[in-house]
Structure 1
């Protein structure tokens, strides 16, 4: 039965790979070093919220056989509301993903530096990562990408879980941090960061589009559900393993996961560097592929293009996102204003999308007998409230009022 479940894993693994990127790894590392095991509950909460929202998005994709933007465009009848929402979505996804793509490629570069050092070809690492991502996207079909991602996420999971086990963490402290929510002094922004790097708006669009690529029948909705639960649970396990490793490690402060690996080296030798390096490389590559892919799906829906992955306009969009990621990193450009715009746009986009998602998934004209149950709606409204809180805090933080 377990083998059959893993055979059905599909789009969910790309969603998991998308949120377990260098940003999530760094935030989990910092949370562990600064606050120990006390914030594991926040990671668990964000994983559960992600499962609920992504299951809705995947269900909409399969039942409607349309991307999320297409469904929104069809259902919003007031022109100015439709154009405003589409504008927010397009701006947040295209500009935001282009800005954060530099971080994804940068994370993979750190992994290469940990494995092969900073000499020789080190200055070309961003180009190597970018070129590899380009080739995978250009020549691979969805089914090929799915298999590659299952492998990469598996490698990433093994590396970080083994690292966590090597530190011999306190089981009682892990249980306490998981089931007894605590909020140490100055930890609120860290909680917001942990949730914000896991519940990612662009993954909702990516999941709906990929789900309809894989599944054509409503009879396969059970497979969609299990795919989402298993994949995101595995991604969450990786996040929690990183936080546990950082908590148990004898470190004062770090800026990224490779700093943590260096701190663990006296205890575990070079194996710490290699495990972290391979894990970070896998995380960076997977996120470097999913961010451009999501941007292309969104643009394709917004402009009404043929949404096939072989479409030239589709390829142009993900190529531009990938190019700007490599460009920002290769020339040491820090796109602060663009990133700040992305943070504001994503802060607005998450609650907007959560509300729209709940609205669509309750419309009988779209979902038929597959609309939300009462329990799903209650959980959905709780997530919407939290998304509004999270988005408000993110915006206030960027403009300097929090």
Structure 2
């Protein structure tokens, strides 16, 4: 309820100004990089997890997705507010912090380990996921080089992502990602509507109920939405978009619209999974086969477009976020055209492309990244909640005491996610 009140207040401050009227042009001009965050958290992993949640449990876990949206909205709003108020992103703020030097060094090392290695490992999944969608329309050949196989579709996706990052700028990338998010949203939402869902069952799915069989799926649904690197990404892009604190109201509107839209897309994907008639499902594209009896071959193409858009957007945002974190922590230039950013982005994308194109599964790297992310998520969420509440850092834009109680509850959720990730590494769960 507090989050809703905050956004109502932001809307009122925007639409009820005495001296200005808000035109549609002004509205879109002042919206920022929020869709980039939606593009980042709706990747192939999210599509697959939401699909399998629908296949296995019907509509009953829609409440978990709603909870993940609230948690993401709260944490991303704090990160954006920190970026605008301080003029620094989270990695720069960490580098410039004062205090125990050993603790600072260990924190910077943990961030680099989790964000860079994690994004490099999971980039291969983003590229492979985009190629799965592409193969619905055209199956690209596989080149055999001795014992190695090069997946040319993965290679094409990786090269496309690299060129968009290498040749573009932040504004051009934002426009491209907004377009892809709109395409992805239309694809999945239309697919969900065409399945003719049981709307009473859909509404009932927002009532929190669970059993032991659903627990890991609930954790996975929240974990695919509340992503550590997105906190770094939005703080960086927000302070580049809005140069002074007058933009905070726009930032809240921007991230609110984007995260809610992303959440609706995730819910649509879950609803599509619930309508599946295929008995054997291991990925989102398997669902398209089960949907063909419902409304014909269109299912296959709609799911293909959605999967391609989800994979391609995540293939761009993951190395972009990693590059911003590396350059911020090291004190290098974060301009997209700078040599430091291009090298950092190129390294992450190249590793992902190698893993994807040669069919290599970087199990040890993924395990290490999972462990680092399990530690990082509760730590970074606790840190930004603390920073957001500090008058000395945030000035008049510090978090209210009542809001901090909500943030504490959200932190407990991130702690559970972190413990689960660490437990998975050691085989506890």
TM-score by length of 1: 0.97
The answer for the alignment partner of 2:167 in structure 1 is 139
In the alignment, the residues of structure 2 paired with residue 222 and residue 275 of structure 1 have an alpha-carbon distance, to the nearest angstrom, of 36
The answer for the alignment partner of 1:165 in structure 2 is 193
The answer for the alignment partner of 2:89 in structure 1 is 67
Q: How many residues align?
A: 401
Cα 1:239–1:359 change in 2 (3 A) is: same
In the alignment, the residues of structure 1 paired with residue 224 and residue 84 of structure 2 have an alpha-carbon distance, to the nearest angstrom, of 26
Tell me if the contact between 2:37 and 2:230 (Cα under 8 Å) persists in the aligned partners: yes
What do residues 74-128 of structure 1 show as CA deviations (whole Å, max 9, x unaligned)? 3341011111111110000110000000000011000001122355899311111
Match of 1:305, SS state, is coil
The answer for the alignment partner of 1:336 in structure 2 is 363
Structure with higher Rg: it is 2
Q: Determine whether 1:281 maps to 2:281.
A: no
Tell me if the contact between 1:50 and 1:198 (Cα under 8 Å) persists in the aligned partners: yes
Tell me if the contact between 2:38 and 2:258 (Cα under 8 Å) persists in the aligned partners: yes
Paired residues for 1:45-194 under 5 Å: 45-117=67-139, 123-178=151-206, 180-194=207-221
Deviates more, 1:383-392 or 1:6-15: 6-15
The answer for the alignment partner of 2:223 in structure 1 is 196
Tell me if the contact between 1:9 and 1:231 (Cα under 8 Å) persists in the aligned partners: no
The answer for the alignment partner of 2:6 in structure 1 is none
What do residues 119-153 of structure 1 show as CA deviations (whole Å, max 9, x unaligned)? 58993111110111111101111111111111100
What do residues 210-242 of structure 1 show as CA deviations (whole Å, max 9, x unaligned)? 111111011111000000000111111110000
What do residues 258-288 of structure 1 show as CA deviations (whole Å, max 9, x unaligned)? 1111221232222111111111111111000
Q: Determine whether 1:222 maps to 2:244.
A: no
In the alignment, the residues of structure 1 paired with residue 82 and residue 172 of structure 2 have an alpha-carbon distance, to the nearest angstrom, of 24
Q: Determine whether 1:385 maps to 2:412.
A: yes
In the alignment, the residues of structure 2 paired with residue 210 and residue 343 of structure 1 have an alpha-carbon distance, to the nearest angstrom, of 25
In the alignment, the residues of structure 2 paired with residue 113 and residue 397 of structure 1 have an alpha-carbon distance, to the nearest angstrom, of 32
The answer for the alignment partner of 2:264 in structure 1 is 237
The answer for the alignment partner of 2:353 in structure 1 is 326
In the alignment, the residues of structure 2 paired with residue 5 and residue 56 of structure 1 have an alpha-carbon distance, to the nearest angstrom, of 22
In the alignment, the residues of structure 2 paired with residue 258 and residue 143 of structure 1 have an alpha-carbon distance, to the nearest angstrom, of 32
Q: Unpaired segments of 5 or more residues in structure 2?
A: 1-21, 144-149
Which of 273, 284, 293 is the aligned partner of 1:266?
293
Match of 1:396, SS state, is helix
In the alignment, the residues of structure 2 paired with residue 310 and residue 271 of structure 1 have an alpha-carbon distance, to the nearest angstrom, of 41
The answer for the alignment partner of 1:398 in structure 2 is 425
Paired residues for 1:30-45 under 5 Å: 30-45=52-67
Q: Determine whether 1:8 maps to 2:30.
A: yes
In the alignment, the residues of structure 1 paired with residue 211 and residue 200 of structure 2 have an alpha-carbon distance, to the nearest angstrom, of 18
Tell me if the contact between 1:104 and 1:284 (Cα under 8 Å) persists in the aligned partners: yes
Deviation of 1:67 (Å)? 1.2
In the alignment, the residues of structure 2 paired with residue 9 and residue 74 of structure 1 have an alpha-carbon distance, to the nearest angstrom, of 29
Tell me if the contact between 1:343 and 1:394 (Cα under 8 Å) persists in the aligned partners: yes
Deviates more, 1:31-40 or 1:263-272: 263-272
Deviation of 1:359 (Å)? 1.3
Match of 2:337, SS state, is coil
* More helix by percentage: 1
In the alignment, the residues of structure 2 paired with residue 157 and residue 9 of structure 1 have an alpha-carbon distance, to the nearest angstrom, of 18
What do residues 170-195 of structure 1 show as CA deviations (whole Å, max 9, x unaligned)? 101110101x1111341111111111
In the alignment, the residues of structure 1 paired with residue 387 and residue 403 of structure 2 have an alpha-carbon distance, to the nearest angstrom, of 13
Q: Unpaired segments of 5 or more residues in structure 1?
A: none
TM-score by length of 2: 0.91
In the alignment, the residues of structure 2 paired with residue 278 and residue 80 of structure 1 have an alpha-carbon distance, to the nearest angstrom, of 48
